[in-house]
Amino acid sequence: MSRRVDILIFPQFQLLDAAGPISVFEHASRDLGSATYRVRVIARHAGAVASSSGIEMIAAGFADSPVDTLLVAGGLGTRESAACDQTLAFVRNAAVHAGRIASVCSGAFILAAAGLLDGRRAATHWARASELARAYPRVKVEPDSIFVRDRNIWTSAGITAGIDLALALVAEDHGESVAKRVAQQLVVHYRRPGGQSQFSALLDLGHPEGRFTALLGWAREHLDEKLPVERLADRAAMSPRNFARAFTAETGATPAKAIERLRLEAARIHVEHGREPIDRVAFATGFSDPERMRRAFIRAFGQPPQALRRAARAP
C-alpha cells in the first residue's frame, strides 16, 4: 500500500529540512520495490519556492485531498508562515485527516501557531527551544531531544534530525530492517533515538575552539569515576560557581546534565554494539546502579537498555 507524504515549504525554508526526509522516503520506496511513498512538495502558492540558500523547489498548491503524513519544513521563513492565516488553516485541516503530522526544526513553530502542539511534548532546534516555550507556553518543549513523538504528532530538532525523524516514520510503517537499509544507503547513522541529546550531538561534531572541549574530552575518558562540579571546576582552574555559569552559557547545559548525557551516550554505544551485561555497562559508564541507568535511558531515549539492545540486533 502506498502512502502519500506532503512536504510543506514556504519562502526562505531550509532546503535540507525538506530534501533530507524526501531522500529517506525515496530510498524506502526503492528498497521495497514499489512506489511505497508518494511524496509531494506543497506551498501556499504553486510554483518555484526559494529556500534560504536561494535554491528553489517546485511546489504544488495547497489542496484538500487527504494525506497519510504532512511534514512541515523549518527555516528562516517560519516566522512569517506561522503568522499566515491561510497556512495555519491548511495545517489545521490537514491534521483532521492526516494519519501523522510532523515538523523539522523550526517548523514546530507553525504547528504550535496552529494549536496542534497544545498540551503536547515537542522538539525544535536547541537555539530556538526557549523561544518556542515562551511564545507557546502550552507546549511541553523538550529542548534536548533529537525528535519527539506525542501520539500522531512528531517534531524534530535541526536539519539532519529530520532524517532521523523520517527514518523513524519508515520504521513505524515497514519495520526496523527497512529503515536500517535506508540509513545504510544514505550513509547515515541508524538511527539516533529520538531522546538522544542535541547537546551530545553537538559535542560529537567537535569544536576545537570551545573553551571546555578539552575538559569534556577528559570527562569522556573518566566516566567511571565520580565527576561532581567541584572536580570539573578544579580541572578547568575555575571556582565551582564561575565554572557552572560559564559552562552553561557556552554549552546550553549544566555540568551535571552534560556528564549525564556523556554517560548516556557511552552506555548506549556499549548496549547497542557490545555484549557486556547491562549491569556491567552501568558501572563502567559511571551510573553505579543498573536501575539508575535504566531510569535515565527511559527519560532520554524513551525505552530501557534491553529494548535498545534488541532493536540494534534486529535483522
| Opening angle at CA 261, ends 193 and 125, nearest 5 | 60
109 and 202 in a single domain? The answer is no
126 and 57 in a single domain? The answer is yes
**171 belongs to a structural domain:** yes
How far, CA to CA in Å, does 72 sit from each of 6, 81, 93, 140, 274? Answer: 8, 11, 14, 19, 37
Closest among 127, 82, 137 to 108, alpha carbons compared: 82
CATH number of residue 225's parent domain: 1.10.10.60
27 and 167 in a single domain? The answer is yes
Domain boundary among the residues 155, 186, 217 is at: 186
- Count up the domains in the chain and report the number: 2
Distance between CA atoms of residues 98 and 308, nearest Å: 29
Range of the domain at 25: 3-186
177 and 211 in a single domain? The answer is no
CATH number of residue 77's parent domain: 3.40.50.880
> What is the per-residue pLDDT for 22?
97
H/E/C letters for each residue in the chain?
CCEEEEEECCCCECHHHHHHHHHHHHHHHHHHCCCCEEEEEEECCCEEEEECCCCEEEEEECCCCCCCEEEECCECCHHHHCCCHHHHHHHHHHHHHCCEEEECHHHHHHHHHCCCCCCCEECCCHHHHHHHHHHCCCCEECCCECEEEECCEEEECCCCHHHHHHHHHHHHHHCHHHHHHHHHHHCCCCCCCCCCEHHHHHHHHCCCCCCCHHHHHHHHCCCCCCCCHHHHHHHCCCCHHHHHHHHHHHHCCCHHHHHHHHHHHHHHHHHHHCCCCHHHHHHHCCCCCHHHHHHHHHHHHCCCHHHHHHHHCCC
166 and 237 in a single domain? The answer is no
In sequence order, what are the beta bridge partners of 47? Answer: 59
Q: Name 265's Cβ contacts closer than 8 Å, sequence gap at least 6.
A: 196, 197, 200
176 and 219 in a single domain? The answer is no
Distance between CA atoms of residues 70 and 260, nearest Å: 35
Distance between CA atoms of residues 315 and 11, nearest Å: 42
Domain boundary among the residues 158, 186, 214 is at: 186
202 and 126 in a single domain? The answer is no
48 φ, ψ (degrees, to nearest 5): -75, 130
**191 belongs to a structural domain:** no
In sequence order, what are the beta bridge partners of 71? Answer: 7, 102
45 and 103 in a single domain? The answer is yes
224 and 181 in a single domain? The answer is no
Span between the terminal Cα atoms of the chain, in Å: 23
109 and 252 in a single domain? The answer is no
By annotation, the residues acting in catalysis are 105
Residue pair 87/25 in contact by the 8 Å Cβ criterion: no
134 and 281 in a single domain? The answer is no
Domain boundary among the residues 166, 186, 206 is at: 186
Residue pair 106/128 in contact by the 8 Å Cβ criterion: yes
pLDDT in single tens digits along all 315 residues of the chain: 789 999 999 999 999 999 999 999 999 999 998 889 999 999 999 999 999 999 999 999 998 788 899 999 999 999 999 999 999 999 999 999 898 999 999 999 999 999 999 999 999 987 788 899 999 999 988 877 788 889 999 999 877 889 999 999 999 999 888 998 998 898 886 655 545 555 554 454 344 456 888 888 899 899 999 999 999 999 999 999 999 999 888 777 789 988 988 898 889 888 877 889 999 999 999 998 999 999 988 877 667 899 878 876 765
**193 belongs to a structural domain:** no
**265 belongs to a structural domain:** yes
Half-sphere exposure for 136 (CA within 13 Å, toward CB): 25
179 and 82 in a single domain? The answer is yes
Rounded to two decimals, the pTM is 0.68
